[in-house]
Amino acid sequence: MAAPRPIIELIFPGRTACRYLKEGEEDYLKRLSRFAAVTMKPVKAGRSTDGSNASIITAESRQLLNKIPPNHLLIALDPAGREMDSPEFAQILGRARDEGRGISFVIGGHLGLGAEVREKADRLLAISRMTFTHEMARMILLEQIYRGFSILSGTDYHK
């Protein structure tokens, strides 16, 4: 019996404004379509209610959490998260797929994620110790999801 087709969501504030990153996202979404149903779920970028960054992070965190379906594995991208190699990441994708669980990846805006999101996450993932824009992080994550499914399916992409 074939493994169920996984549902993967990337949930994040704002939109991808940079043309070449948008084209990269579209390319990886197209490639991923053979492995999983992947959707991008942007929320409105937070606005300060009191002139502080904390109110922006709080507003974004609430919106992000409201977009996560029940029973999805919640993976939050965070600099304090665990770094892993691509085969380890592929195992997470494969386990969720085999259990019939969707995966929601949450990526914070330019100010990062609120504590509430990090606390509710099943896993904190760091894509690198380096800092990337939140737009670049989305494309890097899409590439790694594609690489992970390529590893699981035994294609030559990872070799």
Report long-range pairs for 44-51 (Cβ below 8 Å, ≥24 apart).
Answer: 44/13, 44/14, 45/13, 45/14, 45/109, 46/13, 46/109, 46/111
Over the stretch 3-43, which tens digit does the pLDDT of each residue have? 668 999 999 999 889 999 999 999 999 999 999 999 999 99
pLDDT of residue 4: 67
Nearest to 77 by CA among 7, 133, 30: 133
> pLDDT tens digits for 45-65?
888 788 889 989 999 999 999
pTM for the full predicted model: 0.93
| Domains of the chain by start residue, with CATH | 7-153 (3.40.1280.10)
What is the per-residue pLDDT for 147?
A: 97
Question: Hey, what's the torsion of the CAs at 32, 159, 128, 73, to 10 degrees?
Answer: 40
